[in-house]
Structure 1
């Protein structure tokens, strides 16, 4: 039995979490470098990733809360889907459908990653009951406006917020290194690389798998159940 099947089995036999284990903020880049086709790839790919059987099972079991924020230049970040309880598969499907149909707020502005992190960080004040706070940030360029993202790392760490990133290297071949050095923070934080927007759907699916399974799991026995950690990819 491979690791994915072991994990699926462990989730199937484990009782749902009694309280919220994960608050996951999905921060999507809608800056001027992202055209309408690339925006659609991001939103459809994200929705498909949330529907992955293992991802959806893990989110429901964790009683996760999800929200989506669109971000671009300074002072242009907006929560377009507020915190939503993943208290069942119907709720998860409704959230995925909302992602697919989410109207783009901006089109022609700069890339203010620090501002995106600041806005998202403040949103976690509304979900203090969740055990883990995680920002999943996607982007296709370095920050070129507003506060430098590296200046927020200390506060993010102090507040117990982990930041992971997906670097879409359509036009920035060194973006993964930039995100690693300046954006991600927290124990186990990581960057996933997509060579371009065409690769985004599969890469975001694998990223979500890693976030909602590996980062929350350890190979241990607790209350007579096993939780399996997936191998790193």
Structure 2
């Protein structure tokens, strides 16, 4: 293996496993959050409608440079979709401007991405406060992770697990909300474990469609998970709200 590739691999491994922003959770009840990456138009519309119908709010990680375009699997949300999400109480998160693999770009390029995305989203939403970030493609390195944690309250990855006890705010763990992976048995095990350990379950997905993409959820599954979480007595929160519940924000 070439030295550059070896170093890049070590950087990604270190970013994943080193707790660079440790925090001891102080919540008194188990929490659940629903997050969406990229964001497909179906998530901004059908997904938001289902959240609203269940009295819940989500966190939508937006790469503003993709808005109104066509991805391989879906139409991306429009400017009007993002404006409506913000106006109706959903959280807008940061996902860079053009959705690069951040481990493959320089610190200067990442800074430009973040400045451009912040400017674009504030133009759309006005009083927007971008507090939370999700790594595009789940890709990261230790150096880029450290850079981003100086700018955001949290960074969310794609590594599965519950957030419980002493967590890494710069690498929040997730549960895939995909039709192909979230079986009823897995959902029950996840919520049982979260209830027993007073954990924060962060679900993540992309599209909310019938049929969904391979990294999306059907409307039936999404609605069922929302109702199951509520029936189990979990508080459903955005990432920003979750930070306050765990004591990381006043």
- Normalized against structure 2, the TM-score is what? 0.34
Higher relative contact order (CA 8 A, sep 6+): 2
